[in-house]
Amino acid sequence: MTSPLLKLGSKDDVAVALRNLDAGEFFANLGVAVASDIPAGHKLALRPLAPGEPVRKFGQIIGFATRSIAPGEHIHLHNLAAGDFRRDYAVGQDASPTALLPPEQTASFLGYLRPDGRAGTRNYVGILTTVNCSASVARRIGAHFTPEVMQGYPNVDGIVVITHGTGCGIAEEGEPADLLRRVFTGYATHPNFAAVLLLGLGCETIQAEKLVALTGHSDTIRSANIQQEGGSTQAIKDGIATVYEMLQRANQCRRTPLPASHLTLGLQCGGSDAYSGISANPALGIAVDQLVCHGGTAILSETPEIYGAEHLLTRRSSSREIAERLIERVRWWEQYTALHRASIDNNPQPGNKAGGLTTILEKSLGAVAKGGSTNLNAVYLYAEPVRERGLVFMDSPGYDPVSATGQVASGANLICFTTGRGSVFGSKPTPSLKISSNTALFRRMPDDMDLNCGTILEGSETVKKAGDAIFRELLAVASGKPTRSELHGFGEEEFQPWNLGATL
């Protein structure tokens, strides 16, 4: 891209600054002069806009002018706001059959084939607390397994201790409790765990023994509760002994060549900027299309962050039922936020706005690009097991740790996380690959970024080429290459189930 001012769609009312623009600069190709200094990533008006007039970027409405805007003027929070408008859902209009590659052309990776037929990209032993009250005991058990101890189990990637602040203080029946049970059973049976110890206190709402019965994986899951064990000291001692037994079993697992159809990729974007929807997210969409053609699955989520762009997904829905299910989740979020006297447009966050994003409509258009171009094949509730192949959607909040937790519980054995402002996110037991939307971030946080898509903005790489690189990196990470967050040991504290109901 040779011009520092980028117009993304032929009918767009704005262009995006690829560098800081100075007042008075003139761009002959667009016939516009910069009226005032404009920060990199922010928008500039290309034509006069009247109050209340829709403003388009990516060829789509991103908001409405709140006052008169002159050509060359900076467009941001002071003169643009979200508003309601009629979406053309055009259900299935852009849907088309996915051309799956023949088996002899399908990519492969080195993974762990589990007894239930799913594949792990990692081989962990997990300690999962069912309630916050057992968190300290779980941490003490995990602390016993030092790097020196783990040297005796070279085929195990480590011990993952997952604690949290939930599991009790809620009604025993109803959607909030059902949601938590879906999360815990999804993690307990996750293919990246060779074995799991479910540890509870004993009197909580979410009972460990009942979870084991729900999973149907009694051969790889053990449960214990501190009250029954006789207190913390004995529970720690017994827990250590149980984990040793699990390590013996896990250490027998070996990586074997498996087709890419065994990969389920969770799609996340956080700390987004205006470049996320131009570089990293479209490139990730290319990789998603490739994964789908190889028979794999990708999970798009964060319902408040597709708001205003959901019609782009209904157009690709493989059935009317799927489109209606997605629309129903959007309507639920409108009611949910109204009930709490909030607005979905409370998002973007301050960092997103500093990076040039003004409204949730604008942010959503960039976020949807992560999903590529293939059909939408299913819509799931939070943490429901994903059964369909191809691109699917899982309902979740836009808060990354909560959304990613649901995706992992649904079966994601890889996560791709795009960012424009920066992120240090991990999501054990699933490796999280972080992709920078701009080169400045990649250079500023080199220990945290895995790939750089700023090359697209600089013109040294096409979106297609960057997407190809992401797909190759996905296969490498699935085969055992550590991500930056894994090298740091991140990913246990980010476990955050959606706290949907009242705390009693």
pLDDT tens, position by position, 195-222: 999 999 999 999 988 898 888 777 899 9
Give the domain ranges of the chain: 5-81, 112-256, 259-457
Residue 272's SS3 state is coil
118 vs 146: CA distance, rounded Å: 29
Structure tokens at 250: 């896990």
**Separation of alpha carbons 413 and 385, rounded Å:** 12
DSSP-derived letter for residue 371 is G
Helix pair angle (175-188, 208-215), 10° resolution: 70
pLDDT digits (tens, 9 = 90+) for 219-233: 899 999 999 999 999
pLDDT digits (tens, 9 = 90+) for 391-436: 999 999 999 999 999 999 999 999 999 999 999 999 999 999 999 9
pLDDT in tens, 177-197: 999 999 999 999 999 999 999
Beta-strand runs (E) in 29-87:
32-33, 43-45, 54-57, 60-65, 74-75, 80-81
CATH of domain 112-256: 3.40.50
Cβ atoms of 498 and 396 closer than 8 Å:
yes
Q: What is the CATH number assigned to the segment(s) 5-81?
A: 2.30.130.110
- What is the reported pTM? 0.96
Q: Which residues contact 138 (CB under 8 A, 6 or more apart)?
A: 127, 128, 129, 161, 162, 163, 199, 239
In CATH terms, are 5-81 and 112-256 the same topology? no
CB 152 within 8 A of CB 137: no
